Amino acid sequence: MIDLENQEREIINLMFSQGISWLTAVRIRHKLSLAKVSKMLGISINSLKQIEKTERLSSNIKSKMAGIYGCPPELLICPSWMTAEHK
């Protein structure tokens, strides 16, 4: 299993190479579509897009996403050292 630091590095690389948000990069890293994840979460695609854009997660959605992605919940939160200017 890849450690948390290496997973974060892969997500950051996706963010910068594709100009996407942290949560979008997490989803893409796991090779899952918006449609698939929204269905698994029981929410609309537009709701998932909004969550990925704003990066605001309820504890329930964060827990479900962690289960879907098979990662610890803390991986769903953009590292604190990444300021708004880097996003």
Query: What's the pLDDT score for residue 87?
Result: 47
Provide the pLDDT for residue 79.
78
**b/e sequence 22-51, b meaning 16+ C-beta within 10 Å:** bbbbbbbbeeeebeebbeebeeeeeebeeb
CATH of 4-73, one of 3.60.150.10, 1.10.260.40, 3.30.460.10, 3.30.1330.10: 1.10.260.40
List pLDDT tens digits, range 31-77: 999 999 999 999 999 999 999 999 899 999 999 999 999 999 989 98
Q: Supply the pLDDT for residue 84.
A: 52
Task: State if pTM tops 0.75.
Answer: yes
What confidence tier does 25 reach under pLDDT thresholds 50, 70, 90? very high
